[in-house]
Structure 1
Amino acid sequence: MWRQASMKEAPKYEIVADHLRQQILEKEFTINEQLPQENAIADAYNVSRITVRKALDILVDENLIYRIQGSGTFVKDNQPHETGAKEESLEIFDFSKFKVKLLNFAVDKPNSDIMDQLNVTAFDFTYEIERLILDEDDEVVAFQKIYMPAKVIQGMRMDVLKGSIYEFLTEDQGLVLGSAIRTLSSEIANDNTVKIMNLKAAEPLLTMEQRSFLENGQIFEYVYNYIRPSKFSLHESINLTD
């Protein structure tokens, strides 16, 4: 019997990558959700683990997923309406113009909210940092609460926290910073914030959440900033010609 010749079938790893990509783009997996283990994916598609790894490598290159050594593979925060920031713009404050007063530095188990933000478990440890940003007159400009996973950032030193942490990460740790997602809002300072920031009375604050990623997509930081708009303004240059 004559049969029409068929086109050459795509490699199995491309087929697996296509299926996983579709699931991610159709939001069958949520942001930061862990994908099934390689063995489970291999069983589901009746392929080898080597094939699964090649499929996942494709999705890593496409910035759809990221790996955390010893933990697994996770869906990257890559929504099209959110803009990745370049490494040089991850920093909010210019520490040649502002000073830091360190209030707290601890290594502790994360609460449920920080676990979600950093994609860590109750068995992991996180650096918990609280610091004030001061102007040249020692007026409080902002209050920062910073959280970093200890399994990603190792050997954090207290002296580093009195300036740019990103310099330490790139120059001392050799990490390659990739992008950040910022969420801006506002609120009236509560009693606790008034006390910490040494405010005379409750005043409106600009709040900025920032989740920062390494170049490979791994989350390395969650920061919550309380900024006094009367003392600090944000300026960004936008170039549409690049």
Structure 2
Amino acid sequence: MLKPRYMQIADLLTEQIKDGTLTPGAMMPTEATLQATYDVSRVTIRKAMKVLVDNDLLYRVRGSGSYVKAPKAQHNAFQLMGFIEEVSAQGKTPSSKVIAFETSPCSHTIASKLNLEEGTLIYEIQRLRLIDGEPEILECTYLPVAMFTDLSIEVMQTSKYDYIERHKGMQIAKSRQCVWPDSTSTSLAARFNTRENTPILRVESVSELVDGTPFEYTVNYFRLHQYSFEFIAHRQTPQ
């Protein structure tokens, strides 16, 4: 079925944003210009522009016009990449701020995640992950001390996975992830520079080496201001 004209125009403008013809931060053509370009009414143009705003591709400035939004960094849940790899690959600047780094005996819950005896010494690390200087993720990570005796704050300010694979010579195989909707507590809202009870995503993961050894249990809180999740489902051909 043929799409309504405003949807056709929205699709054309979306493609121009995605292929870089309309760059992030660029001001969109005026309604009058778009009317002339596509030979349609002002109502049709306004409906097309609303589609782009609703799809988080544009933002409006009162008295000025509509501007192209910078794309969010995407988290592909099916491709195991570190935060720095993932964000850098999308042309943004990642950074990390370690806000807690200590060792302690592990609780029953964490021991069960890492296949350890309760009370085994683990690292408890909290990092604030930033994209272009803005806080986006609070990461709470638990690692067995015996596996990473030389782990340091300096390492955690860079890439944890690079340290594990390049420095320790371990091969990471997979991560099992569970995702829940959540909202910011008072302390988390302060970390994210946002309001309490703002919707966020909580992602828990257990990562394993190629021999099946779990080496990391992590709880990530995603602000979703500069980050989006991508899930790709492949249909299996019926037999």
Fold shared, TM-score > 0.5 on shorter chain? yes
Is 1:181 the equivalent of 2:172?
A: no
The partner residue of 2:105 within 106, 109, 128 is 109
Alignment partner, residue 224 of structure 2: 229
- CA separation of 1:151/1:240 partners in 2, compared to 1, >3 Å: closer, same or farther? farther
Deviation, 1:154, is: 2.6
How has the CA–CA distance of structure 1 residues 182 and 90 changed in structure 2, closer, same or farther, with 3 Å as cutoff? farther
Secondary structure at the counterpart of residue 234 of structure 1: strand
Alignment correspondent of 1:130: 126
Alpha carbons 1:90, 1:180 under 8 Å: kept: no
Q: CA deviation at 1:186?
A: 0.8
Tell me the amino acid that sits aligned with residue 141 of structure 1. E
The match for 2:188 is 193
Structure 1 segment 3-18 matched on structure 2, within 5 A:
none
- Aligned residue for 1:157? 152
CA 1:183–1:120 in 2, change beyond 3 Å: closer, same or farther?
same
Q: Judging changes above 3 Å, is the alpha-carbon distance between structure 1 residues 92 and 235 closer, same or farther for their aligned structure 2 residues?
A: farther
Percent of aligned positions with the same letter in both sequences? 21
Are 2:202 and 1:207 aligned? yes
Q: Name whichever of 143-152 and 187-196 sits farther off.
A: 187-196
Q: CA-to-partner distance for each residue in 1:206-231, whole Å, 9 max, x for gaps? A: 11111000100000000100001232
Matches within 5 A, 1:29-40: none
Alpha carbons of structure 1 residues 222 and 90: separation in structure 2 relative to 1, 3 Å = farther
1:146 to 110, 128, 141: 141
* Shift of residue 175, structure 1, vs aligned partner: 0.5
| Structure 2 stretches lacking a partner, 5+ long | 1-76
Q: TM-score, normalised by structure 2?
A: 0.59
Cα distance in structure 1, aligned partners of 2:235 and 2:150:
40
For residue 95 of structure 1, report the CA deviation from its aligned partner.
5.3
SS in 1 for 2:156: helix
SS in 2 for 1:193: helix
SS in 2 for 1:230: coil
Residue of structure 2 in register with 1:118 after alignment: 114
Q: Which residue does 2:9 correspond to in 1? A: none
> Would you say the 8 A contact 2:180–2:201 is kept in 1?
yes
Give, as a single letter, the amino acid of the residue that structure 2 aligns with 1:210.
S
Cα-to-partner distance string for 1:80-125 (whole Å, 9 max, x where unaligned): xxxx966xx2424535331111101111111222112112123411
- Measured in 2, the distance between the counterparts of 1:239 and 1:204 equals 29
Cα distance in 2 between the residues matched to 1:153 and 1:240: 40
Q: Report the CA distance between 1:196 and its aligned residue.
A: 3.1
* Structure 1: segments with no counterpart, 5+ residues: 1-83
RMSD: 2.3
Using a 3 Å threshold, how does the CA distance of structure 1 residues 115 and 234 change in structure 2: closer, same or farther? same
Residue 218 of structure 1 pairs with residue 213 of structure 2: yes
Question: Distance in 1 between the 2:234 and 2:169 partners?
Answer: 29
Q: Which residue of 2 aligns with 1:169?
A: 164
Structure with the larger strand share = 2
Runs of 4+ in 1 over 6 A off after TM superposition: 238-241
Determine helix, strand or coil for the equivalent of 1:196: helix
CA distance in 1, matches of 2:150, 2:176: 25
Give the superposition deviation at 1:238. Answer: 6.3
TM-score (norm 1): 0.58
Count of residues in Structure 1 that have an aligned counterpart in Structure 2: 155
